[in-house]
Structure 1
Amino acid sequence: MSLNNSILNLLGIEDRNIKVLNVETTSKNNEQLKVTHASLSYPVARCKNCGFETVVKNGFRKTHLRLASLNGMRYEMILAKQRYYCSNCQTTFGATTDLTKPNQTLTRKLKSQIMLF
């Protein structure tokens, strides 16, 4: 088992397209937290808008996700999501993951952890 899979397994993330780059411990408001830097990318065959095969990769967009806490320590993830561009309809779209709903930063597991308390 690789280090990447071990970190994702510890955090409870099952998305195979997420690659962990590094993990660091920082302090924010006198509170220790672990920040995981990762990237999300996968091949796209067709445009989501028009359906043509004219999609190319178009950089990354960083998002800041709050993960569920383990053993009282706070975990966050800086996730660089791949952006795609369709040269046929001139639209852009990004890679998606099941960790969060679109345009949200709280993960589904964190929301369920909050509801338990």
Structure 2
Amino acid sequence: MFSVQLLNPAQTLPFILCQNRDQEAIPSNADPCGFSYPDCVYTKGKDLLSQSAERTRRLGVDKSCTVFIDGKQECIRDNDQWINCPDGGEVGDFVKRIELASKKSVYATWKREKTARD
């Protein structure tokens, strides 16, 4: 179990903007950007961040807005445009894909349970 600590956006937004000025330097530019980490970051937080960064690297994600639905890369938002998004990038398009993925998941679960009972 881990605890969630919400940070004040008035403090975190300037930090994020500072880091984004030199994205290649992330995470080593955290100290120069003047961010003070809460105590929880030094244990579980660092581990979670490392795991997230490693998973992102393994998936080949190099854009900050890469959308995955049910484990499949669906769309990438880059330079204010959706790319590699053949089914559309509007809210309704995402809703349809999420609903379809959910229905497939529910059906797969039902089928597994039915097979186990038979």
Give the TM-score band, short-chain normalised. under 0.3
In terms of fraction of residues, the more helix-rich structure is 2
In terms of fraction of residues, the more strand-rich structure is 1
TM-score, normalised via structure 1 length = 0.23
| Structure number with bigger Rg | 2
TM-score, normalised via structure 2 length = 0.23
| Structure number with higher relative contact order (C-alpha < 8 Å, ≥ 6 residues apart) | 1
